[in-house]
Each structure stands twice: as C-alpha cells, then as structure tokens.
Amino acid sequence: MTGSTGIAPSLVDRAKARFAEQFGDDPAPRVAVAPGRVNLIGEHTDYNDGFVLPMAIGRAAVVVFRPRDDRTLRGHSVAFDETRSLDLDELSAPGGNDWLSYVAGVAWAFETEGLPARGLDVVVDGDVPIGAGLSSSAALELATARALAAAGELEWDPVRMAKLGQKAENQYVGMNCGIMDQFASAVSQAGSAVLLDCRSLETRPVPVPEGAAVVVMDTGARRSLAGSAYNDRRAACERVVAYLATLDPSVSALRDVTPQLLERGKDALDATDLKRARHVVPENTRPLKMAEALKAGDLPAAGRLMNDSHYSLRDLYEVSCEELDLITEIAREQPSCYGARMTGAGFGGCAVALVRADAADSFCATVGSAYKAKIDLPAELFPCRPMAGARLLD
C-alpha cells in the first residue's frame, strides 16, 4: 500500500523508528526518498548514445538523516541490521561496494565537485528489490544526495545530482553503469515516464495515460551472467561502429547508424556482431515511437513496440532467458495486456508489461500463479504508476 507520495508509509515509519532507536529522536530527523525505476523500452541503447524511456516506480530508498557538527558519517542499515561510521576527511576512491559505500561514495562525489558534505547520522532502508534490475543502487545514491544537499543547505539540481550519483557508482563503488538509472531517480515527474537522450542528456516527460498500468514482473531469477554478457555485447557494438565509421566518418556510435548503412557493411562484419547491431539500431527508435504512442493514448501501439523489443533482445541480442521468456509469454496471453518485454541487462531480473489499469490486480494474480506453476522461484508482480524523483518528505 502506497501513500500520496507513492512511497509505502510503513517503510518510512520503520526507518524513522529505527533512527530513534539508534540515534534518538531529538532533534527530529528529516526524510529523503528516491525511487527505483523500470525501463519501459530502449534496452542496451544507453551505451550506444541512444534513447531510453525509464519510469520511476513506487519502490524507493529511504534515508532518514540528521546533520552532525563534525565530519563523521554514521550510518545504520535496516536490511543488514548494522551500524558503521567513517570519517568524511578520509574518503578516497575506489572505495568498497557494500551498502555504506554507496552513501559514502555520494559524499565523496560531492566533495570532489566542490560541494561541502556535512557529517550525518543516517538510517538507510528501502523496498526496491536488490539485483532485479530496478536500480536499487541509484535510488540509494539519489536519496543520499537529497539528504546531503538538504543538510548542507545546497540548491537541489536534479541533473547535477544524477551525474554525481553516477560518478559515485562509477569511480567510488567501481560499477561502470550508464546515466539512465540516476537520471530516472532524480528528474522523474509524477504521472510521466522520462524520455532521455543519452548523448545530449536532454529529457522530456512522457505522460502515461491514466487508463494504463505498468506492471513490474520480477522473475526471481538473478542475473548471474549479466556482467560478462554485458561486456561482450558492448565490445561487439564498438567493433561494428569502428568498421562503419570507415564507410561514414560521421558515425561515432550505433546511435548514428541507419539500417541502410548497416546493410552496406554487413558482408564485412562478424555474423554475431551484425546480430547485435541489428537489435540496437531499430531499438534506438522504439523509445521515440513509444513516447508518441503514449502521448496519443495508443496503448496497443505502445504494447506492440514492447513485444518487438523483447523478441529482438531474445533473438538478436540474446540476453533473455527461460524465466523472462516465460513470464512475458504468459503476460501476452492475458486480454488486458497490451505488450510485455524483458527489462534491464538480461539473463534474469525483471520484465515489464503494459496493462489496462482496471485489470492490473487480476493480471498480477493470474500471471504470477501461472508462472509459479512452472518455475519454482520467489517471483513478485506489482502494478505501478509513474512516481516523482528524489525528494524530501517533510
């Protein structure tokens, strides 16, 4: 059950209660939240300078915080039931990759960009599933950034803060993520997805019609192969670009490649590399087309684009898996479903479906039951409406 903010009140209450237990409640702490995200369409286009269409969801990271008078960052994780502290003057990259490192990494990124990071007492909680491709790490980074900005009485600039969150993850934690996750968590507006140009970083809100629900379908399968597969596919894209740039010097990424140019170069390209590019080039147009379909209220057209994206990811990019294929197939069989696709890096994690809003609960129950009858994993399905980005609740 979510409140008017889109965040579960019980989650916020739990984090505040834990803060009182750990650090006392006088003076009263403040609360920063930032949502996870699901990518509606535009998969593996971000590192090809393309377009993506993510949407903030009603699952979030919560940071309850109170400024300190020294340079100590003292944090408690509800999930790990652990309290730790560190000195902000001793932060250096690379750091670690545990829960506190995501918090510390944002403080480090603030300092490297000339923004003062105050000492804080913080309690970290959240309900974004970890390892499901819903950006739990970006949510924690942006909630931390919101807390640090408020504690330091700094202007909240969502675009700058998204970049700082990415810097923390890339350089401090050591995960080479793109910018999409942090942007979605920072700049999203309630009621709208975000069309992001990963080259220019320009964004525009894309309202999701009231009659539609986005259903996140967590398969319960975690992405054991995603890291190496991601690197292989990224390298394939770079090889295609390197060759096609000899045919057209204006090409610097697959964003610049037309289907016609790709066909011109096909005989000189490795067959597997060509398959990868044959996914990315059409996929890069799908976020733009889906944005127009949603704007027009044409949900069947939006759904067809999602289906096409899944088939392309399955057959050309080859990053789907049995669980993702099964849950999207069951979803498409439901009369209330316009379309469904895997989302994220692949090889597990989540799929996403566009569904009639009035049938979302029954859709979740039917698809979840049919999936669990065939796959013995802790799957979870939940409907979403687009939520606002990182913010203070008080």
- The answer to whether residues 117 and 148 touch, using CB atoms and an 8 Å cutoff, is yes
Q: Alpha-carbon distance 41 to 302, whole Å?
A: 10
Active-site entry in 46, 121, 125, 181: 181
- Beta partners for residue 380, in sequence order: 218
Residues 6+ apart with CB under 8 A from 66: 19, 23, 27, 28, 29, 30, 120, 121
- The answer to whether residues 143 and 64 touch, using CB atoms and an 8 Å cutoff, is no
CB atoms within 10 A of CB 52: 29
Q: Alpha-carbon distance 348 to 25, whole Å?
A: 41
Q: Which helix (H) or strand (E) holds 214?
A: strand 212-218
CA dihedral 96, 100, 106, 108 (to 10 degrees): -60
Q: Alpha-carbon distance 43 to 184, whole Å?
A: 14
CB atoms within 10 A of CB 290: 28
The answer to whether 181 is a known catalytic residue is yes
Q: Of 236, 283, 234, nearest to 259 (Cα)?
A: 283
Q: Alpha-carbon distance 108 to 129, whole Å?
A: 25
Sign of CA pseudo-dihedral 355, 361, 366, 370: positive
DSSP codes joined into one string, 175-191 = ----SHHHHHHHH--TT
CA dihedral 257, 260, 265, 270 (to 10 degrees): 70
What SS3 state is found at 294?
Answer: helix
- The answer to whether residues 67 and 74 touch, using CB atoms and an 8 Å cutoff, is no
Q: Of 256, 320, 309, nearest to 283 (Cα)?
A: 309
Catalytic amino acids?
A: 181
